[in-house]
């Protein structure tokens, strides 16, 4: 997936890192009353959820910055010069959720460490943000 630098939180992300994946959606219509929709999201058009935790980054591709002599350098690519293609190790079902998020919303990654705890984060809607 192609991500702008501000959508990669917690430092420079590279292959071998693990990340949390957040999907934000802004719907044109109110959510339908479906059992798959978390209760806290019903009635809201905008919400964010951390859908995945501890996901392995398998590749990060980014254009190297131009040097003063016009050539490019592959080492030490500084962020936030541009977008990056980030590839994650996921099942086909989880990948379909990422595709949905890319197509109809936006995706954010948070860099994690071996100390990052796996939790059950709630869906975040406007009242939660304003608390």
Would 22 be classed as within a structural domain? yes
Domain of 25, in residue numbers:
2-64+78-113
Give tens-digit pLDDT for 10-55: 888 999 999 999 999 887 655 555 556 566 666 667 888 899 999 9
* Residue 87 located in a structural domain: yes
Instruction: Give the C-alpha distances (Å, rounded to integers) separating 57 from 13, 20, 24, 122.
Output: 8, 10, 20, 24
Provide the whole-model pTM: 0.74
Q: Please tell me the total count of domains within the chain.
A: 1
The answer to the question of residue 88 being in a domain is: yes
Domain assignment of residue 105, yes or no: yes
Name the more confident of 52 and 118. 52
> Is residue 93 situated within a structural domain?
yes
In a domain, 128, yes or no: no
């Amino acid at each position: 997936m192609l991500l702008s630098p501000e959508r990669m939180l917690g430092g420079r992300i590279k292959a071998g890192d693990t990340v949390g994946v957040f999907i934000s959606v802004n719907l044109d219509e109110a959510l339908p009353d479906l059992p798959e929709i978390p209760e806290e999201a019903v009635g809201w058009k905008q919400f964010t959820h951390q859908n995945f935790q501890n996901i392995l980054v398998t590749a990060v591709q980014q254009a190297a910055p131009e040097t003063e002599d016009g050539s490019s350098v592959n080492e030490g690519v500084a962020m936030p010069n541009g977008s990056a293609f980030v590839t994650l190790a996921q099942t086909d079902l989880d990948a379909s959720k990422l595709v949905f998020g890319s197509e109809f919303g936006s995706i954010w990654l948070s860099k994690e460490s071996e100390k990052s705890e796996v939790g059950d984060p709630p869906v975040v809607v406007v009242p939660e943000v304003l608390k």
